[in-house]
Amino acid sequence: MTHPATLLRKEINAGNVAPFIGVYDAFSASIAANYSENLFLSGFGFAASHYGLPDVGYIAWSDMVQAAWRIRQILPHHKLLVDVDDGYVDVSVACHVVSQLESMGVAMIMLEDQARPRRCGHFDGKLLLPLNAYLDKLEMVLEQRRELCVLARTDAAGDEIYRRVEAISATRADVIMVDGVRSLETLSSLRSITDKPILFNQIAGGKSPRASLSEVRAAGAALSLYSTPCLFAAQAAINHTLSSIFDDDGRLPDTRNGNAVGIADCSALLQINMDRHVPASPSRPALVE
C-alpha cells in the first residue's frame, strides 16, 4: 500500500488538500472520519482527554504514539497529522518518535519551536526556542524521516514571524504553520516570502479569525486545520445531556425522535471500525442485533 505521507504530499503539490479535523481519541476520530479524509491528533485535545490537564507539556511521547497507533488501526485509509509538540525536548527522542509514527503510517507530524513550559498556540506567554536550536532539531527530524511529511510550526509573533518563516523556508520541511496568527492579511504577506505551502489553524475562541475555506485559500493558505471542534463539541454535548437528564427527573433522552444517540447508533459506528480492523467472518456476530 502506498504510504499515506506519499499520498498527502501528492495532494499538497496538486493544491487540493481536504481540511484536517482535530480529534482527541479513536472514538472522536471515528466520527470525524465521516467528514474528512484528513485527521489531526491534537495535543490540546489529547492532554484534555487522556490526562484531564491543560496542554502545557504533560504529554509523554509514548502515550501520543499509542494514541496514533489506535487511530491508524481503525482508520488505515485516512491521513493522520500528529502533534509532537517540540519533539519532547530531546532531539534523539524526537527522531525516535518520528520513526515510530512513520512506520505505523502517519502522514505528517507537526514540530513546533516553543520552549518549555509550553502553552497552547492561541494563549499568551509563549516562549520560543532560539531559532538556530529549533532549526537544528528540525534538520535532524528531516534527516530521520523517509516518506513522512513534516509540518514546521512557529509560535512567533510580530516581525519575528517573518524571520522564522524565511529560515524555515530554506529547509526541506513540507509545510509551514504560524500558530495564533491574528489576521488573514498576515497570511497574505507570508505568501510573498515563502514558496512553502502554508497551513492555517483555527480554534473556536482563539486568536485567529473565523474564516471560510474560500477566504483562507484566497489569503494564500494551501491547507486548513480545525484543531479542537470535536473536543469542544463533546464538552458542550455532555453538559447539555446531563443537564437535560436531571432537569427531567432523571429520564434519559428519547432516542426515538432521532435527536439523541442511543446504543444502536453508537454500536453501529463501532461495528464499522470492527469491520475495518478485523476481516469479516460469518462466525463473528454484530455488536448489536
Could you report the per-residue pLDDT of 187-220, keeping only the tens digit for each? 999 999 999 999 999 999 888 889 999 999 999 9
**What pLDDT is attached to residue 286?**
52
Q: Is 178 helix (H, G, I), strand (E, B) or coil?
A: strand
Least confident of 19-28, 40-49, 114-123, 242-251: 114-123
SS3 (DSSP) at 200: strand
| Residue 65: pLDDT over 50 | yes
Residues pairing with 111 in the sheet: 152
Least confident of 44-58, 95-109, 137-151: 44-58
Residue 16: exposure state from Cβ atoms within 10 A (0-12, 13-18, ≥19): exposed
Residue type, 133: A
- Decide which of 177 and 1 is more confident: 177
**Residue 210, all three cell numbers:** 473565523
Return the pLDDT at 121.
66
The pLDDT assigned to 278 comes to 65
Instruction: Find out whether 102 and 148 touch, Cβ atoms under 8 Å.
Output: yes
- Render pLDDT for 174-183 as a digit per residue (tens, 0 to 9): 999 998 888 8
As a whole number, the mean pLDDT across the chain is: 92
Q: Distance between CA 89 and CA 87 in Å, rounded? A: 6
12-23: average pLDDT: 94
Lowest mean pLDDT among 133-137, 201-205, 236-240: 201-205
* Model confidence at 148: pLDDT above 90: yes
CA distance 86 to 169: 18
Long-range contacts from 57-64, C-beta under 8 angstroms, 24+ separation: 57/85, 57/116, 57/117, 57/118, 59/85, 59/88, 60/88, 61/88, 61/93, 61/96, 61/97, 64/97
116 CB-near residues (< 8 Å, 6+ apart): 57, 86, 89, 127
Q: Is the pLDDT of residue 288 over 50?
A: no
Name the CATH topology of 4-234.
TIM Barrel (3.20.20)
Give the model's pLDDT for residue 91: 95
Confidence of residue 289 (pLDDT cuts 50, 70, 90): very low
* Predicted local confidence at residue 280, as pLDDT: 52
Per-residue burial over 262-274, b if 16 or more Cβ lie within 10 Å, else e, is: eeeeeeeeeeebe
- Structural domain boundaries of the chain? 4-234, 255-289
Residue 256: pLDDT band by 50, 70, 90 thresholds?
Answer: confident
And the C-alpha cell for 135? 532549526
Q: Which three cell numbers stand for residue 173?
A: 520541511
pLDDT score for 57 = 86
User: At residue 259, does pLDDT exceed 90?
Assistant: no
CB 66 within 8 A of CB 100: no
**E-state strands within 28-171:** 38-41, 79-83, 108-112, 149-154
Q: CA 146 to CA 141: how far, in whole Å?
A: 10
